[in-house]
Chains A and B, each alone.
Chain A
């Protein structure tokens, strides 16, 4: 009983005891949404950065001799272009491997017209204009088509932004719901302890003394709920990471959060506790002002 806070409230009842669990569920949802939004952002950033440093040139000519001639001309042009680190012609085996998910395993040299692909690596910080390069390639090799991945990458990035906004909206809604739950819980607590509060007032307690007792209690609820929520969410994220590792490289693994960047998860219980306590303080102070 001794301490700076004059804790006149009795031990919490069953109804109040559920509050940390409710806050925990909210924090779980909040953590997953927040992590998802940040992971999509950082994953796509890394992924688009790696794609932006690559171009693909396709030489789609039916005649093999003409295709070889145009490939060599295109290679000469690319190697002479400032800002290009390396231009490599993909071997037929590599092209067949890229096509195998759609066409199945086929022997090299099967009677299937496949284009020649040149993979172009750009120098770091290169400012090549893809449209101009495409024009020059067309002039050198009429069957050359330059793909800078922008057309489909921008669609994916647009989609990612929409998903991030939605997840951000979920985070905001979860925070607002948590605040509403704390307000309802706090009002119920005020009603339950009305007589005790009245006695405290009559003994000469100031509003700050009374609201501090609620502050301490709701700080504890918020901290417990925050720890529970973040603990379960961390477990879920770990499970997802393990599953993604087993699926191998690709878009999914590129989008997953990197565990060493998740140190901020440790701050979430503190943020939850602070939000819960401040909400309780505001609610209690407002209610006390309505009493004499």
Chain B
């Protein structure tokens, strides 16, 4: 579904942050992205959610070569990608409902459809009683669940999460990760960047390990229940 071949990335005239990155994401797969700070995780994620184009190499999204995709065509591809950030990036002046509704409204969905979908999804992430709360009144875990709901309201083909558990406690981390696994089981290709190796072990999914701009692949293991 998504393929990176010998991808390199540099900002301006600086050194390459990513060097010869090659991997592919199959439809419905779950992939962790791990690595020390400065290894290029965020840069690789930005390439994955189309915030940047690579400096070199081939990137293929849903069967289309990124280098040949016109700028005007990017919004359609981006609507197939959901993004969750460590710092949530919710619109502070909008309610939880309005934040989650934004992607649907961008696609011109009807008001009644939007209301049904958003309420259902916020209920699924356990926020049915916080529909009209603004982000300032939500806890870190609640904000992240709103952010996840916003990222998946369009039923994206690819979900990219950048340190989604970075600002929440261990219990909430585990619950959020259950959400990602549940979404993946419904067919959403999921990439989660994390520092937390215990979460990686708990899920047991394959790992892309970034170090010094390069990438190595590690197969998934058997999920480990952190309670045991």
Nearest Cβ in chain A — how far from B131, in angstroms?
14
Residue in A1, A11, A204, A292 whose CB lies within 8 Å of B103? A204
The reply to whether A202 and B50 form a contact with Cβ atoms under 8 Å apart is yes
The reply to whether A203 and B51 form a contact with Cβ atoms under 8 Å apart is no
Asked if B78 is at the interface (CB within 8 A of a chain A CB), the reply is yes
Asked if B222 is at the interface (CB within 8 A of a chain A CB), the reply is no
Contact with B along A1-25 (1 / 0, CB 8 A): 1100010101100000000000000
The reply to whether B103 and A203 form a contact with Cβ atoms under 8 Å apart is yes
The reply to whether A205 and B89 form a contact with Cβ atoms under 8 Å apart is no
Asked if A92 is at the interface (CB within 8 A of a chain B CB), the reply is no
Asked if B102 is at the interface (CB within 8 A of a chain A CB), the reply is yes
Q: How many residues of B contact A (CB 8 A)?
A: 28
Grouping DSSP codes into helix (H, G, I), strand (E, B) and loop, the A interface class, with mixed when no group exceeds half, is loop
Nearest Cβ in chain A — how far from B213, in angstroms?
21
In the complex, the chain B residue whose C-beta lies closest to that of A289 is B71
Residue in B79, B81, B91 whose CB lies within 8 Å of A196? B91
The reply to whether B106 and A6 form a contact with Cβ atoms under 8 Å apart is yes
The reply to whether A204 and B106 form a contact with Cβ atoms under 8 Å apart is yes
The reply to whether A204 and B75 form a contact with Cβ atoms under 8 Å apart is yes
Question: Assuming the A-B contacts A8-B102, A195-B89, A209-B106, are A204 and B53 also in contact, with contact meaning beta carbons closer than 8 angstroms in the complex?
Answer: no
Question: Assuming the A-B contacts A1-B98, A292-B71, are A205 and B106 also in contact, with contact meaning beta carbons closer than 8 angstroms in the complex?
Answer: yes
Per the bound structure, the CA–CA distance linking A196 and B92 in Å amounts to 10
B interface residue numbers (CB < 8 A to A)? 49-53, 71-72, 74-76, 78-79, 81, 83, 89, 91-94, 98, 102-103, 105-107, 111, 150, 154
A interface residue numbers (CB < 8 A to B)? 1-2, 6, 8, 10-11, 195-196, 198-206, 209, 289, 292
**A1-B98, A202-B49, A203-B78 known, 10 other contacts, Cβ within 8 Å:** A2-B111, A11-B93, A196-B91, A201-B78, A202-B51, A203-B103, A203-B150, A204-B107, A206-B75, A292-B71
